[in-house]
């Protein structure tokens, strides 16, 4: 049996979760300096790039607390370019998050570059074909990978670990640094009147198979439409998702096929907690 718990609340405080109770984090936060997230950051009193990363750091600290020793944290993030006060520059979110996670205590592991296949040539940022004033297009996102402490320990021949084995082809393709075979998804989800920034299922699918075993617990502290939870369930992992926006509840339920049994499995248990200001309500 696997259990899937959706918590509607702010993941900067995951008081529902005990220390060392999660084996893997797979997530994608709101991206600092990307316009679609301006309102959320503004509503949380983040005025500057620094403020935004300080705000997100609250969640990274909690991820560190709840991970088991040897647990892995995978963060999908893109950098941003923006012109402010007539000055165009890069905001390297992946660098900031790496520095912050290292300060928290995480060990940085080699990251993955997710290059979305596209039919379009580079959107040229600059003028004409004359050097030197054009800019390189941001056409990759990062999947940053961190570990809490040293290697995770197992008993010899641990059954769940051996059942979770991947193939040679999977290993050869997934553990290479550039993933250029996963398309992004259409962001205008007809079920909600806003862009969702969801990632394609293949992304959490690979990461969950690479960095967790069946019956482990996978956490997504920025659950969005519920992609990580759905995939974790399909792969026989337990899951926990935090989402701050309660408008997403129906969308997540639909996405996860809430209440439905997993193909051929005996039982799947679903739970929602909607936090009130000072207490949380179970339904």
Q: Which residue is nearest to ligand SAM (CB)?
A: 224
d(CA 10, CA 108): 25
Whether the CB-CB separation of 246 and 8 falls below 8 Å is answered with yes
Q: How far is the CB of 154 from ligand SAM (least distance, A)?
A: 29
216 or 243: CB nearest ligand SAM: 243
Closer CB to ligand SAM, residue 113 or residue 249?
249
Strands (E), 93-237: 107-115, 140-147, 178-179, 217-220
**CB-nearer residue toward ligand SAM: 32 or 221:** 221
Residues 6+ apart with CB under 8 A from 172: none
Interacting residues with ligand SAM (CB under 6 A): 10-12, 28-30, 40, 59, 196-199, 221-222, 224-225, 227, 242-245
Query: For 115-142, b where at least 16 C-beta lie within 10 A, e where not — what string?
Result: eeeeeeeeeeeeeeeeeeeeeeeeebbb
Give the whole-angstrom CA distance, residue 49 versus residue 93: 9
Q: Which class for 111: exposed (0-12), middle (13-18), buried (19 or more C-beta within 10 A)?
A: middle
**Nearest CB to ligand SAM, comparing residues 148 and 275:** 275
Question: Considering beta carbons, is residue 27 or 152 the nearer one to ligand SAM?
Answer: 27
Rounded to the nearest whole angstrom, what is the least distance from the CB of residue 37 to ligand SAM in the complex?
A: 8
8 Å CB contact between 7 and 273: yes
The CB-of-88 to ligand SAM minimum distance in angstroms stands at 24
Closer residue to ligand SAM in complex, CB, 217/225: 225
CB of 84 to ligand SAM, least distance (A): 22
Assess contact for 211 and 68: CB atoms under 8 A: no
Instruction: Look at strands 2-8 and 238-243 and give their pairing.
Output: parallel
For the bound state, the minimum distance from the C-beta of residue 244 to ligand SAM, rounded and expressed in Å, comes to 4
Q: How far is the CB of 151 from ligand SAM (least distance, A)?
A: 27
Please state the closest distance from residue 148 (CB atom) to ligand SAM, in A.
Answer: 20
In the numeric block, the tokens 């008993």 are attached to 155
How crowded is the C-beta side of 126, counted as CA atoms within 13 Å? Answer: 13
Residue closer to ligand SAM (CB basis): 113 or 134: 113
């Amino acid at each position: 049996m696997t259990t899937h718990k959706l918590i509607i609340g702010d993941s900067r405080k995951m008081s529902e979760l005990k220390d060392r109770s999660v084996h893997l984090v797979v997530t994608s936060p709101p991206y600092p300096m990307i316009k679609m997230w301006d309102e959320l950051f503004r509503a949380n009193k983040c005025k500057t790039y620094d403020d935004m990363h300080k705000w997100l750091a609250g969640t990274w600290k909690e991820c560190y607390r709840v991970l088991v020793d040897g647990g892995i944290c995978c963060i999908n993030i893109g950098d941003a370019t923006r012109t402010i006060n007539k000055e165009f520059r890069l905001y390297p979110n992946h660098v900031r998050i790496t520095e912050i996670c290292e300060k928290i205590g995480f060990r940085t592991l080699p990251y993955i570059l997710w290059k979305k296949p596209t039919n379009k040539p580079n959107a040229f940022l600059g003028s004409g074909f004359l050097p030197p004033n054009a800019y390189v297009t941001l056409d990759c996102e990062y999947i940053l990978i961190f570990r809490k402490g040293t290697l995770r320990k197992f008993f010899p021949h641990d059954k769940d670990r051996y059942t979770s084995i991947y193939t040679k082809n999977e290993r050869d393709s997934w553990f290479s640094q550039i993933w250029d075979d996963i398309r992004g998804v259409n962001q205008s989800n007809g079920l909600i009147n806003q862009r969702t920034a969801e990632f394609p299922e293949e992304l959490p699918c690979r990461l969950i198979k690479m960095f967790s075993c069946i019956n482990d617990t996978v956490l997504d502290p920025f659950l969005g439409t519920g992609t990580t939870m759905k995939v974790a369930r399909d792969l026989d992992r337990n899951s926990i998702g935090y989402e701050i926006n309660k408008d997403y509840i129906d969308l997540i339920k639909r996405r996860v096929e809430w209440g439905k049994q997993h193909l051929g499995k005996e039982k799947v248990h679903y739970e929602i907690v909607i936090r009130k200001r000072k207490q949380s309500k179970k339904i």
